[in-house]
Structure 1
């Protein structure tokens, strides 16, 4: 019994020391350095994270996340990102639960040429993809989302294949998500408030024809309260000969 007691005590002390070490900036920056070096070596692109803070409860705060594409252009940059991400359900229950999230100063540039399968982020999928075993099936991950606050986003989407070019300058977006069901494509949103935002959409040619029928269910989106404040949009579709622009008033 003495040996068992001493063993349990040693394990508790070791765990306490591990908790204290991991919570130090030195240990967390070391983990981030190893992780960014690993991703960079796999993708052969530049990956950086200025600062990170992680707790065992799942609170994550990062600053200065940067990822470039294969041409050296910015793919993703985030000035500050905060997530409340419980780790136990993710590691042991196959559940992804983001209770709260904040993202400030996000820059995203998505591009696709005339090749249907080649986005500028395809190298990430290729670098970390593994051969799949078609004889085995796994349960889909359960996903639940909570409250989100987004501010100062710059998003660009350029798609030569579909002829779609979208530019978004997002001021603020506040929302809380009650249900997020990807299998049934049902999404329930409590509040959705968008402000000080500019959206530009250009369609240069008709969508390519396809003979394959779509088997995916259409999404069902429910929003309890939808608020817009100071929204400017431009819509230009050459195939449909439609062009319009407007600035919304608060309502």
Structure 2
């Protein structure tokens, strides 16, 4: 009996590595997330190694105004703890390659455009008795050749040079640690930063930056 269970476990592990099974997982995951978040989520492919190691290809997430919130050609991560019952997900780190993150504020709305995701995990949607906020720790986040956009759509004035209400960082490379969300504020410690802002302002290398970002 134990040997049969062992073989079944091995079979499940290897079945997850079969492309057809991974495609099925992608379809189910994106349909579920799109329905739950009420926002479009698509993924081209997921490659799973040893259950906890994930490589996600072509992930796209819209905000609730149907604009891009996140696109990445590739995201790699490993799961340290996955305990939805305890409202905990810990990752060993995330690597984002070739993509864009767009953080926006919209008129007559509180918070930033990812607030609906934070609210979903903190709302106790599946368990109305839950009182603890969702504990998500992404670990170290590495950005490689990314774009970062911050836009405050409540204002439409033109500003020559770096416009802090309409920022676009190109060719962004950085390492992010101690990433935390507190309602509409992002806290992080950022190291090894390089980018070019759309105004032409360029940072070739900045060793360390620690503050609330938005």
Shorter-chain TM band: 0.5 to 0.7
For 1:39, which of 9, 33, 40 is the aligned residue? 33
Partner of 1:212: none
* Structure ID, larger Rg: 1
In the alignment, the residues of structure 2 paired with residue 69 and residue 182 of structure 1 have an alpha-carbon distance, to the nearest angstrom, of 17
Structure-1 separation of matches of 2:188 and 2:150:
26
- Give the structure-2-normalised TM-score: 0.67
**Matches of 1:71 and 1:106, distance apart in 2:** 19
Q: Report deviation, 1:122.
A: 4.9
Secondary structure of residue in 1 paired with 2:10: helix
Structure 1 residue 165 corresponds to structure 2 residue 166:
yes
Q: Which of 84, 91, 116 is the aligned partner of 1:98? A: 91
Deviations 1:132-160 (A, max 9, x none): 757x64487374724x4311211222224
Output the TM-score relative to the length of structure 1.
0.59
Structure 1 residue runs without a partner (length 5+):
1-6, 202-231, 234-246
Residues 31 and 173 of structure 1, relative CA distance in 2, 3 Å threshold: same
Quote the Cα distance in structure 2 between the aligned partners of 1:46 and 1:248: 34
1:49 aligns with 2:49: no
CA RMSD of aligned residues (A): 3.8
1:108 Cα deviation after fit: 1.9
The Cα offsets for residues 144-180 of structure 1, whole Å up to 9 and x where unpaired, read as 724x4311211222224588332222432246x4x67
**Residue 82 in structure 1 maps to residue 76 in structure 2:** yes
Higher relative contact order (CA 8 A, sep 6+): 2
The number of aligned residues is 191
Does the alignment pair 1:114 with 2:107? yes
SS state of the match for residue 31, structure 1?
helix
